[in-house]
């Protein structure tokens, strides 16, 4: 009887494990498209990943000119991420309407999305309505960069999605 119970527990544990999808996946950055979009090799497939909760100035938009601090955001992403092993963490829907993965990028134990905000190279923005796991941290990172007038926040009246206190 004990063997049957043990076997049932093992089978149920296995079924539960395969039925639960993880909210993280590991990969290697194969290309930086721009400051908020990268390509990551995940299990032998190259996936385009759009970074959650950040919007960097445009450098590749077909209908917009290169925006101030766009090249700097792309250079920052290239320096930090190119060829690096990263973890993509999902938060809400895994893909957007363009079939890009949506996630936070973790590199060397740091949330890269937050680093963009802390350095004034992105503004807080979301694709789908909140809540998000790191929403408050991201808003705080933008506020601090704004107060210190870093990057995009050195430009008068740069639009923000974060309310002033």
Q: Locate 20 and state its tokens.
A: 């639960």
Of the candidates 58, 135, 139, 140, the residue annotated as catalytic is 58
Map out the domains of the chain with their CATH numbers: 22-154 (2.40.50.90)
123 is catalytic: no
Strands 110-111 and 54-55 come out as: unpaired
Of the candidates 50, 72, 89, 146, the residue annotated as catalytic is 50
Per-residue confidence (pLDDT) for residue 7, from 0 to 100 = 46
Q: CB neighbours of 34 closer than 8 A, spacing ≥ 6?
A: 56, 58, 59, 60, 70, 73, 74, 77
Per-residue confidence (pLDDT) for residue 86, from 0 to 100 = 99
User: What length is written for the chain?
Assistant: 165
50 is catalytic: yes
Of the candidates 47, 72, 100, 123, the residue annotated as catalytic is 100
**Euclidean distance between the first and the last CA atom of the chain, given in angstroms as a whole number:** 64
- Tell me how crowded residue 55 is: count the other CB atoms within 10 A of its CB: 21
Distance CA 143, CA 136 (A): 11
List 25's β-bridge partners, or say none. Answer: 88
Strands (E), the chain: 24-34, 37-42, 45-51, 54-55, 85-89, 101-107, 110-111, 123-124
Mean pLDDT by 10-residue block, N- to C-terminus, for the chain (165 residues)? 54 43 92 98 98 95 91 98 99 95 98 99 89 96 98 91 66
Per-residue confidence (pLDDT) for residue 90, from 0 to 100 = 98
Burial class (CB in 10 A: 0-12, 13-18, 19+), 27: buried
In 3-state terms, what secondary structure has residue 17?
A: helix
75 is catalytic: no
Per-residue confidence (pLDDT) for residue 162, from 0 to 100 = 72
């Amino acid at each position: 009887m004990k063997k049957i119970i043990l076997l049932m527990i093992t089978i149920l544990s296995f079924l539960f494990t395969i039925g639960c999808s993880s909210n993280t996946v590991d990969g290697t950055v194969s290309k930086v498209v721009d400051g908020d979009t990268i390509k990551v090799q995940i299990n032998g497939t190259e996936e385009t990943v759009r970074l959650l909760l950040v919007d960097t100035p445009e450098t590749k938009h077909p209908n917009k000119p290169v925006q101030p601090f766009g090249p700097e955001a792309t250079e920052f992403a290239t320096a930090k991420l190119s060829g690096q092993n990263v973890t993509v963490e999902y938060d809400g829907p895994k893909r957007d309407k363009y079939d890009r993965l949506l996630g936070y990028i973790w590199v060397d134990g740091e949330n890269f999305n937050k680093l963009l905000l802390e350095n004034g190279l992105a503004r807080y923005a979301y694709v789908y309505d909140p809540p998000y796991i790191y929403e408050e941290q991201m808003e705080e990172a933008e506020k601090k960069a704004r107060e210190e007038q870093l990057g995009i926040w050195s430009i008068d009246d740069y639009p923000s999605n974060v309310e002033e206190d």
